[in-house]
Chains A and B, each alone.
Chain A
C-alpha cells in the first residue's frame, strides 16, 4: 500500500510580459479558496506583488551534472523551498512565477533531479498564460515562448476578448499542434476557476489516464479513443519502478550543451502514437531509454500509458527531457489493452518515432 502523499503541490506559472500573470496571481492570493499558498516570484520580474505570502528570489540556474542542460535546476528554489518545508505550519500549495523570458525546464527539473525536492514537493502543473492578441508576434522567433507552450499542462489564452473568434480558433489550433496534451482555457482578465490552475496533476502518474482523448481524435480521426479516459485514483503502487524509475540518459555528450537558443527555424510539435494490443516491455524500455538519452534535449515532455505483455496492469509514465518516471497504473480490467505515447518537442520525426514504436509492439 502506498502511504499518504504528503508532498506539497507546486504550480509553475509562466508567460510573457503582459500576458496576465499579475492579474492571475493577485486573484489566487486574494480569492477565498481556503488554501494557504506561498508565491515565489522573481525579484527582478515584472510582477512585484506586495503581499505577505510572496517571496522574492533571483532565478539561479546550475547544472547538477557537468554541463547537461537536462540537469539544469534552480538552486534558489532548492534553498528557499528547503527552508519552507521545515516549517511546522506547512503551505497547502506553492506557486512559482517565472520571468517572461525563462525556460520552464529548469524549474520543473528541480523537482525531479533533486532528491529532497522530490521527497517533499510534487509538481502539479506548468501553467502558461498566453496573450491571445500578441502571442503571434513572438511565437515564431521566441524560443522561450515555444518552450513555455511546449512544457505547459495548462494554457490560458488570456485577453481572448481582444481577438475575433476565428483568430482565437486559429491560435488554439496552432498551440494544439505544438502541445497536444495541455488543457486550453480561453479567458478574459485571467478569469477561470482556480482549480483549473491549482488542481491539475499534470505530472501525477496516478492521473496520467487523463491523456487528452480529443487530441488523438484530431490527430487520427479513424480511431475512437473515448475509452481511454479518466480511470484513475486506484493506483496504489509503492513507487517501485524497478528499472523504469528515473531513467536518465548519459549526460556527457557534447551535443547536450545548450546551444539551441535563437534558432528561428525550429518548430515545436506533438507526436502521439497508439497501438491497440500489447508492447514488448523490454524493447519499449530500451527504445525509450535510448531515445531520451540521445534526443532528450529536444523532447520537453513525454507521457504514456502502455500495455506490456503478461502484465495485467497498465504502466503509466511521464518524462521531462531525459528524466522519466514510471509507475503501475492499476489493472486494465475490462478495458481494451492498448498503448498511447505522446511526445512534445523539437525536431520530432513522426515517421521515425512511429516506426521505432511499432518495432516494440506485438
Chain B
C-alpha cells in the first residue's frame, strides 16, 4: 500500500489531535478555532476555541465535544456544527475529553475527579476523588459502561452506576495517558517517566515495562488487541499481547524506521498497517514490521488518525497543517 496526498487543511496552530467522525475530520490545534473538515479538506465549520489553550477534542459521528484551559466543555452537532450545550465546570484546565464507544457518555478529567457527562452536558457520574488531577480516560471498547481514569501513578477502573472502582492499580509515579485494548483485556498507561504500565484484567496484574529511552508519547493497540505499539524515541516498540502473560518476559519488535522521536502512532482499522510519525516530519507506513511507504513532511508530526474504513489517513503537524493521505 502506498500513500497519496488527497487533501490538506491549515489550522491556526500546532495540531493537538485529529479525529474522524464519520466522513468528517475534527482538527484541534493547541490554540485557535477547532475545525470540522470534510474529507476533501473543506472547512465545514470553525468551532470556538477554549481561551489560552484547547484540550483534546472527541467526536462521535453526530456530536463533537471540545474542551480546554477555560474549564469549559462544548458540544456541537455534526455535521451542522451547531452548539447544543456548553458546560462551565470551573477554573481548572481540562486537558481532554473522551466519548464512550456508544457515543452516549463523555469522560472528562476535571481536577481530581473523572466526570461523566451525557450528550446534553449533564453530569451523570462523578468518580473520585483521585489523589491528583485526572490526566486521561479510556473507555472499555467491549463495554460502553466501563471507563478507566489515570492520575498520579496508576489507574482506576469504574463502572457507570457504581461509586467505587471495580479495579485499580497504583504505583509511585505519574501517568500521562491511558488506552484500553480493543479486546478489553489490557489497559496501558504511558508515564511521566520512561515507562508504561500494562494492566491485565484477566489477572488483575499491572506489568511495569521499563527500558525506554524517553517518555512514551504515543501508544496504540492493534484493532484486534494483540499488539501494542509504543513510541517516544526514534524506535517504535511493538509488544505481543497474545501470550498468557502478555508481553511479560518477551522481547518486543523494535522498528527502527525513524531518525526523530516518534510522537504519533495509529494502526489501520484492519490492523495490517502501522502509521508512525516523528518530530522530523517523517511519516512511515509499515506492515509486519517492515516499512512499505514513507513520506517526508516539513514539520513535526503530532497526530495521526485513520478514517473508519481505512482509506484515508489524516496527519497533523506542529505548524497546524493537516494532510489527508489516501491509501492506494
B-binding residues in A (CB < 8 A)? 38, 43, 48, 52-53, 55-58, 60-64, 66-67, 75-76, 78-80, 83-84, 86-89, 114-116
The one of B12, B14, B51, B133 in contact with A76, judged by C-beta atoms closer than 8 angstroms, is B133
Contacts of B132 in A (CB 8 A): 58, 60-62, 75-76
Cα A76 to Cα B131 in complex, Å, equals 13
Chain B residue with the shortest CB-CB distance to A57: B93
Q: From B95, which residue of chain A is reached at the shortest CB distance?
A: A79
List 8 A-B residue pairs with CB atoms under 8 Å apart, sorted by A's residue number: A43-B111, A53-B52, A55-B93, A56-B71, A58-B111, A62-B132, A62-B152, A79-B95
Interface size of B by CB at 8 A reads 35
**B-chain residues with CB within 8 Å of residue A61 when the two chains form the complex:** 132
Q: Which of B53, B90, B153, B320 has most chain A Cβ within 10 Å?
A: B53
Q: Which of B14, B152, B192 contacts A64 (CB 8 A)?
A: B192
* Chain B 26-55 interface residues, beta-carbon cutoff 8 Å to A: 30-31, 51-53
Secondary structure dominating the interface of B: loop
B71 shortest CB reach to chain A, Å: 7
- Chain A residue, CB-CB nearest to B68: A83
Interface residue from A38, A67, A78 paired with B192 (Cβ < 8 Å): A78
Report yes or no: B133 in contact with A83, Cβ–Cβ below 8 A: no
Q: Is B135 an interface residue, CB under 8 A from the partner?
A: yes
- Interchain CA distance A60-B150 in the complex, whole Å: 13
Closest to A73 in B: B192
Q: Which of B14, B31, B95, B172 contacts A66 (CB 8 A)?
A: B172
Given contacts A64-B193, A75-B132, contact A56 B92 (CB under 8 A): yes
What is the distance, in angstroms, from A87's C-beta to the closest C-beta of chain B? 6
Q: Which of B13, B30, B69, B174 is A60 in contact with, Cβ under 8 Å?
A: B174
Are B53 and A87 closer than 8 Å at their CB atoms? yes
Would you call A62 and B92 a contact (CB within 8 A)? no
Chain B residues contacting A88 (CB-CB under 8 Å) are: 12-14, 31, 319-320
A79-B95, A86-B14 known; 6 new pairs, CB 8 Å cut-off, are A58-B133, A63-B173, A64-B192, A66-B172, A83-B53, A88-B31
List residues of chain A with CB within 8 A of the CB of B14: 86-88
Q: When the two chains form their complex, are residues B172 and A62 in contact, meaning their CB atoms are under 8 A apart?
A: yes
Q: Which residues of B contact A (CB under 8 A)?
A: 12-14, 16, 30-31, 51-53, 69, 71, 90-93, 95, 111-112, 132-133, 135, 152-153, 172-174, 176, 192-193, 214-215, 302, 318-320
Known contacts being A57-B133, A58-B112, is A83 close to B174, with CB within 8 Å? no
The reply to whether B172 and A63 form a contact with Cβ atoms under 8 Å apart is yes
Residues of B within 8 A of A86 (CB): 13-14, 16, 30, 302, 318
Q: What is the distance, in angstroms, from A110's C-beta to the closest C-beta of chain B?
A: 11
Give the docked Cα–Cα distance between A56 and B51 (Å). 12
A88 to B, closest residue via Cβ: B13
A195 to B193, CA, bound (A): 36
- Chain A residues whose CB sits within 8 angstroms of the CB of B133 once the complex forms: 57-58, 60, 76
Report the bound CA distance from A15 to B91 in whole Å.
22
Residues A84 and B53 in contact, CB atoms below 8 Å apart = yes
Chain A residue numbers with a CB within 8 Å of B71 are: 56
Give B179 Cβ to nearest chain A Cβ, in Å.
17
Q: Can you name the residue of chain B whose Cβ is closest to the Cβ of A65? A: B193
Given the contacts A52-B51, A86-B14, A60 and B93 also touching, CB distance less than 8 Å: no
Q: Most chain-A CB neighbours within 10 Å: which of B172, B192, B302? A: B192
Question: Given the interface contacts A76-B133, A86-B318, A87-B14, does A38 sit within 8 Å of B52 by beta carbon?
Answer: yes
Chain B residues within 8 Å of A56, by CB: 71, 91-93
Q: Which residues of A contact B31 (CB under 8 A)?
A: 87-89
Would you give the shortest CB distance from B158 to chain A, in whole angstroms? 20
Contacts of B16 in A (CB 8 A): 83, 86
Q: Which residues of B contact A52 (CB under 8 A)?
A: 51-52
Contact flag A55-B174 (CB < 8 Å), given A83-B30, A86-B30 = no
Q: Which residues of A contact B13 (CB under 8 A)?
A: 86-89
From A43, A61, A66, A115, residue with most partner B Cβ within 10 Å: A43
Nearest A residue to B193 via CB reads A64
Contact call B30/A43, Cβ cutoff below 8 A:
no
Known: A79-B135, A87-B13, A87-B30. A60 touches B173 (CB 8 A): no
Residues of B within 8 A of A67 (CB): 172
Q: Tell me the smallest distance from the CB of A97 to a CB of chain B, in Å.
A: 13
Q: Are B69 and A55 in contact (CB under 8 A)?
A: yes
Q: Which of B90, B95, B192 contacts A62 (CB 8 A)?
A: B192
User: B260 CB to closest chain A CB, in angstroms?
Assistant: 14
Interface contact A75-B192, CB-CB below 8 Å = yes
Query: Who on chain A is nearest to B112 by CB?
Result: A58
With a cutoff of 8 Å between Cβ atoms, the chain B residues found around residue A64 in the complex are 173, 192-193
Q: How far is the CB of A61 from chain B (nearest CB, A)?
A: 8
Chain B positions within 8 Å of A43 at CB level:
90-92, 111
* Residues from chain A with Cβ under 8 Å of B173 in the complex: 62-64
Expressed in whole angstroms, the minimum distance between the Cβ of A122 and any Cβ of chain B is 20
Chain B residues with CB under 8 Å of A58's CB are 92, 111-112, 132-133
CB distance from B19 to the nearest CB of A (A): 17
List, in ascending order, chain A residues with CB within 8 A of B319's CB: 88
Complex Cα spacing A87 to B16, Å: 10
Q: How far is the CB of A195 from chain B (nearest CB, A)?
A: 25
- The chain B residue with its CB closest to the CB of A63 is B172
The 3 nearest A-B residue pairs measured at CB: A62-B174, A75-B174, A56-B91
* Residue in A closest to B318 when the chains form the complex, CB atoms: A86
Residue of B nearest to A86 (CB): B14
Contacts of B192 in A (CB 8 A): 62, 64, 75, 78, 114
Residues of A within 8 A of B53 (CB): 55, 83-84, 87
Residues of B within 8 A of A83 (CB): 16, 30, 53, 95
From residue B144, how far is it (CB to closest CB) to chain A in Å? 27
Which residues of the partner chain A approach B302 to less than 8 Å between Cβ atoms? Answer: 86
Residues in A with CB closer than 8 Å to B90 are 43
Bound: A66/B14 CA distance, A: 34
Nearest CB in chain B: distance from A342 CB, A: 32
> Which chain A residues lie closer than 8 Å to B69 at the CB level?
55
Taking CB as reference atom, which chain A residue is nearest B111? Answer: A58
A41 to chain B, nearest CB (A): 9
B residues near A57, Cβ cutoff 8 Å: 92-93, 133
